Amino acid sequence: MKNPFRNAAMRQYFDAYVEMYRDGKMRNADGSPCCGGSSRSMFWRGYDGVENILATKGSLNYAAFRAGQEVKKSEAKSKSSRKKARRKAPFKDKPLADFYRITRALAHDPTASSTCKLRVIATTASGAQARCIDAAFGRASISS
């Protein structure tokens, strides 16, 4: 992600907000956006695509606003490239291929209910399903 600023303070502020977002410090414990300060709220305004009417160019809040815009742009690019590189299930057997897709979706879903579902699946899995769970979590490559 390219930093659009020449001013050293603006560059540092922009980089700091991008880094805080990557580290998860821009969200509350429940996953909602953290808008405690004016700069954080400007970051989320940029991220959400809200028109900038509050921050003047050259202010540190503007750097936070632009950081939000750039983070959103880079996420959109990575999502589109992931869709292009969508992997097929490594199983030819239809029931196992469906099981793999469901398990993979649950493995990448951060909600607590999905974690509980995965525990149930793992405890009741047969040998082939257990290999499928390993493949969904990326622990092994499967070819059948």
Note the pLDDT tens digit of each residue in 57-95: 888 999 999 999 999 988 888 776 655 555 565 666 777
The pLDDT of residue 65: 92
Q: Which of 113, 144, 116 is nearest to 131 (CA)?
A: 144
Instruction: Give average pLDDT by consecutive 10-residue segment, the chain, 144 residues.
Output: 88 92 84 81 89 84 92 82 57 71 68 55 64 63 44
Q: What is the DSSP letter of 16?
A: H
Are 72 and 47 in contact, with CB atoms under 8 Å apart? yes
Structure-token match 């410090």, residue found: 25
Query: Which pLDDT value is given to residue 10?
Result: 92
Residues in the chain: 144
**Residue 70: its pLDDT value, please?**
92
